[in-house]
Amino acid sequence: MDYTLLGNTDIRVSKVCLGTMTYGDQNTQADANDQLDYALSQGINFIDTAEMYPVPPRAETVTRTETILGHWIKTKPRDSFILASKIAGPRRGMHWIRGGPSGLDRDNIRAAVHDSLQRLQTDYLDLSYLHWPERNVPMFGQYQFDPLAELDKDGNPIAWVSMQAQLEALDELIKEGKIRAIGLSNEQPWGLMEFLRIAKERNLPRVAALQNCYNLMNRGMEFGMTEVLYREGISLMAYSPLAFGHLTGKYVDDPQAVGRVTQFLGYAQRYKKPGVPEASKRYTALARAHGLSPTQLALSFVYHRWFVGSTVIGATSMTQLAENVSSYFVKLNADVLAEIEQIHLTMMNPAP
C-alpha cells in the first residue's frame, strides 16, 4: 500500500481509506470487525466515519456506525490507524441528529465532536470534517446553484453561521487535543477558498482535506476544484468511487440485483438521472473488453488520479472488500484511459 501526507499536515494516510457507512444497517459488529482487521492487514491505516452513519440516515439507526467502530477501536492501539469523522450541519428533516442542529455554531460543533469521541471510545479524532456546508449550495445530487434558496418565505436573507465562527470553534478543539486536523465535505470552490482566506487572515486552522464525490460518472471536481487543490496543497478524499454500485456492472447484468440501489428505493438521487444506465453499460463493456472487472476499471481510475489523496471505499461483504483493495494494484494503460475519455466526452458527468 502507498501512503501520502494529509494536506499540509504530518499525518500519513494510506491511499485507500476504509469507509464504514454500512455498519449498523447492512453490516453487523462481527462484519465490521472482520473488515477493519482485514483493512489493517492490507496496509490501510485510514478509517472514515460520521456521526449520522449508517446511510441512508434514519432515526432508528443514527450513530450506530460510530458505536460499532468504537467497540473495535478499544481493542487496538490508537496510534495504529488514522480516524476521521464528520460533523452534520443543518438539514431539513434530520431532527434526530442532535435535535436537528440549527447551524454549525460553536455549541453544535463541540457537541458533535464530544459525542463522536464518546461513541468511538477515543480521546481524539485525527481528522474532523464539516459534513456539508451550512450555507445554500448544491449538493447530494443537486447541481445548480439557486439564489432564491438564500431567502426565507418572506423574501428575507437566511442567516448562517460565519465561516470564521466555524473555524474558531474547530480551533478550540484542536488546542484542547480533541482533533488534529480539519476538513470539508461536499464543498464548492468558493467555500473552500473562503475557508482558506479566513484561516490565513485570522490565524485559524487551515483546511487539510476535502471529501467530495468523484467517479467515472461524476468528474465535476475537474472543473475548477483541481486547480484549487493543487495550488493550495489540499488532499482530495474521493467518495462514492463506484457510483452507488452502478460502476460494478451488477445493475447492467441484472437491474434488480441485490444492492443499495434496490434496497433503499428513492435514495441517492444523484444516480437517478437519465444518463446513468447508459454510462453504466458503456463503462462495463469497456472494462470487460480489456479483461478487467467493471470494479477494477472504476476504482483504478479514481485511485490513480494525480489530485486524489485517498479514496474512500466501502463494502457489505468481504469478497467485495477484497476486490476493492486489490484493485489499487491494477494500473490502466494508455489505451484504456483514452477510451474512458471518449466515453466521458460523449456523455459527460451523467451523475453530477
| Position 93 confidence tier, pLDDT thresholds 50, 70, 90 | confident
Q: How many Cβ atoms sit within 10 Å of the Cβ of residue 129?
A: 25
Task: Determine, yes or no, domain membership for 263.
Answer: no
Task: Determine, yes or no, domain membership for 153.
Answer: yes
Looking up residue 40, the CATH number of its domain turns out to be: 3.20.20.100
Task: Determine, yes or no, domain membership for 116.
Answer: yes
Please give the DSSP secondary-structure letter assigned to residue 12. Answer: E
Task: Determine, yes or no, domain membership for 238.
Answer: yes
Q: Give the pLDDT mean for 164-170.
A: 98
Where in the sequence numbering do the catalytic residues fall?
53
pTM of the model: 0.97
Task: Determine, yes or no, domain membership for 87.
Answer: yes
Question: Could you list the residue range(s) of the whole structural domain that residue 196 is in?
Answer: 3-246+308-315
Q: CA–CA separation, 226 vs 338, rounded Å? A: 20
Task: Determine, yes or no, domain membership for 326.
Answer: no
pLDDT given at position 102: 85
Task: Determine, yes or no, domain membership for 301.
Answer: no
Domain count, the chain: 1
> pLDDT (tens digit, 9 = 90+) per residue, 309-325?
999 999 999 999 999 99
Q: CA–CA separation, 104 vs 298, rounded Å? A: 34
> pLDDT (tens digit, 9 = 90+) per residue, 132-144?
999 999 999 999 9
Asked whether 84 and 126 are in contact (CB, 8 A), the reply is yes
Q: How many Cβ atoms sit within 10 Å of the Cβ of residue 224?
A: 11
